[in-house]
Amino acid sequence: MQFDETTQKNLDAWLNGDYDQDSKDEINRMLKKNPQQIIDAFYTRVAFGTGGLRGVMGPGTNRMNQYTIAAATQGLANYINQKPSKEPHSVLIGHDSRNNSPFFSEVAARVFAGNNIRVYIYKEMRPVPMVSFGARHQKCTSAVMVTASHNPPEYNGYKVYWDDGAQVLPPHDEAIIKEVNNITDLKQIKSLPDMNSDLIHWIDDNLDHVYLDTVRALQRFPEDNKLKGERLKVVYTALHGCGITMVPKILKDWGFSSVSLVEKQAIPNGDFPTVEKPNPEEEKAMKMGMQQLLNEEADILLGTDPDCDRIGVAILHECKAALLSGNEMACICIHHLCEAMQSQGTMPQNAAFVKTIVTSELFKAIAEFYQKPCFNVLTGFKYIGQLIYQWKQQKPATYEYIFGGEESYGYLLGTHSRDKDAIIMSALICEVALQAKLHEKTLLDVLHEIYKKHGIFREKLVSIVYPDSKETKDKIKKMMENLRKNPPRSFAGKAVKILEDYDSSKRIDLISGKEEPITLPQSNVLLFWLEDDSKLVIRPSGTEPKVKIYCGVVDKDEKDINMGIVAMDAKIEQLTQDLKKLLS
């Protein structure tokens, strides 16, 4: 089979270069049995994006392996060493339960040390928030987490953090990408032959205790948690990930001692043998835990993804297992925090909350009910981390961050981490559930009470998946251009009032024609506000051939909550069908 020039050049470099024999044997096997795999593996380099690397594992320039990890690390090391610093530069490295994650983390450690950068590396797998927290605690210049989040088993990845503990943002991200792209030859990589170096320091479980000590103060009902926490019956599934190292510890520390594990999913395993996808956003992944919830007649099920930054929740309600969405859980948590701080007199004068533009507007309504601001950021938790950092730099602080969340099951209470934290959230959610139980309620009862106070807000995410081809990319690009030039004037019979175009940074009143600037960074996102306060967001994926549609509706007048939910869910279906026709 003939390959294009780039594929052949990359292939020859591997077959003739200083690469391990196992990789060469695998390449020769692919050449004989499936040449198409050669094209996929060598036609380009695995892209180092603004968050780092992510891809399928295996030999090749377009795969996650020790060589692509080493090249990325060398580029990052070059950038770090360009930065002036009073103290010697250091990085912290963590990894999850995925196949090859421990190995890849050691590859990175040897390259950093080879570039005279001090390394703190977790001896065992730890969650994402422990990397963010640990990097800040050790005052590191940067940090790396080897993980592919909740992607399928064949994937792995490499997430990069900066000194504030948040994922890299401008100007660092583009500068790091440039340095990584400059590494085109193995000879450019400086790596130690093994882990025996005075520059490499293994992290034991002492940092776990520092984390637990730090977040203990975030409890709103510490006495109830300590004295009555055992009354809450909790089921926990780690979905074969690294949450098992920290979630049971924090639950016990806060007083939630009645915890049963989904044993088959408590065993770390990068093959994720009991689930199709280890994603707590999907009901299939939570199925085993939900069955255990029913069997044990427990109160609540918590499920964390492999790197333990996202958390899914199901509860026992009227003898049935009921899943709560990311939007619902975010709103229940902000309601709990605001109500507790208000009644206890602990609400900071300058308290502030943060959500992404696609997260429920109920979140904002709750914050404003307590006369506190809620700030919108683009999708991606790094933007929440950025706001925390900016507010911390202000003297005196204009705002004090309390809580932030996004619809995709990621939340953060406190500022100890600057990324999503399913460790602290598992404990907070149990605190909320305990307070509900002490008042003979479930979290669903609490949600319905929130609806009574603020209105019935309902949301849905729909993804339109297209064939993976260059034609698809062109089609999506033209479709977004057309929507910008000729925005729809109505959806499901409701007029469009406002178009927010985050690519051109404009908020356009489609009735008056008036334009206002949007101060958030540019992004290929369109948000339509309808006359009845419904919102529709269109966001193409940056890495996959799909477009995401986020729909949110509200009814502030309906008194019958159950009827209102049915009506709002039907309205969402109507709106999303209208938009899908437009995008098909």
Give 355-410 pLDDT, tens digit per residue: 999 999 999 999 999 999 999 999 999 999 999 999 999 999 999 999 999 999 99
Q: Which two tokens stand for residue 249?
A: 């510890």
Q: Give buried/exposed letters for 518-545 (b at 16+ CB in 10 A, else e).
A: bebeebbbbbbbbeebbbbbbbbeeeeb
136 and 259 share one domain = no
* Collapsed DSSP state (helix, strand, coil) of residue 359: coil
Query: 282 φ, ψ to 5°?
Result: -100, 135
77 and 139 share one domain = yes
Q: Give buried/exposed letters for 383-399 (b at 16+ CB in 10 A, else e).
A: bbbbbbbebeeeeeeeb
Q: Which two tokens stand for residue 481?
A: 């251009």
Q: Is the pLDDT of residue 469 over 80?
A: no
User: Do 455 and 445 touch, CB atoms closer than 8 A?
Assistant: no
Tell me the CATH number at 231: 3.40.120.10
Q: Does the residue 56 lie in any domain?
A: no
Q: Does the residue 423 lie in any domain?
A: yes
Q: Given the DSSP bridges, would you call strands 90-95 and 118-122 parallel, antiparallel or unpaired?
A: parallel
- Residue 286: enclosing H or E segment and its boundaries? helix 283-296
Q: Does the residue 32 lie in any domain?
A: no
The total domain count for the chain is: 3
pLDDT of residue 544: 74
Q: Does the residue 282 lie in any domain?
A: yes
Candidates 430, 435, 436; CA nearest to 448 is 436
Which runs of consecutive H residues, i.e. helices, occur in 439-523? 443-454, 470-485
- pLDDT tens sequence across 518-537: 999 999 999 999 999 999 99
260 and 386 share one domain = yes
Give the N- to C-terminal CA distance of the chain in Å, as an integer. 36
413 and 336 share one domain = yes
The per-type count for the chain, helices as H runs and strands as E runs, is: 19, 23
**In the structure, what pLDDT confidence band is assigned to residue 437 with cuts at 50, 70 and 90?**
very high
Mean pLDDT confidence for 227-249 = 98
d(CA 103, CA 453) in angstroms, rounded, equals 52
449 and 466 share one domain = no
Last residue of a domain, one of 414, 438, 454: 454
Tell me the CATH number at 519: 3.30.310
482 and 412 share one domain = no
d(CA 150, CA 242) in angstroms, rounded, equals 12
pLDDT of residue 367: 98
Task: Give the domain range for residue 137.
Answer: 64-204
- pLDDT tens sequence across 61-118: 999 999 999 999 999 999 999 999 889 999 999 999 999 999 999 999 999 999 999 9
pLDDT of residue 543: 66
Q: Does the residue 470 lie in any domain?
A: yes
- pLDDT tens sequence across 165-211: 999 998 999 999 999 999 999 999 999 999 999 999 999 999 999 99
Q: Does the residue 47 lie in any domain?
A: no
331 and 218 share one domain = yes
Last residue of a domain, one of 454, 489, 511: 454
Q: Does the residue 46 lie in any domain?
A: no
Last residue of a domain, one of 432, 454, 476: 454
d(CA 296, CA 285) in angstroms, rounded, equals 19
Q: Look up the pTM and report it.
A: 0.96
179 and 93 share one domain = yes
- pLDDT tens sequence across 37-67: 999 999 999 988 878 999 999 999 999 999 9
Q: Does the residue 14 lie in any domain?
A: no
User: Left (φ > 0), alpha (ψ -120 to 50) or beta: where does 47 sit?
Assistant: beta
Q: Return mean pLDDT, the chain.
A: 95
437 and 523 share one domain = no
d(CA 122, CA 57) in angstroms, rounded, equals 22
441 and 539 share one domain = no
525 and 376 share one domain = no
> Of the residues 101, 132, 142, 149, which is catalytic?
149
> Would you call 149 a catalytic residue per the annotation?
yes
494 and 394 share one domain = no
Q: Is the pLDDT of residue 1 over 80?
A: no
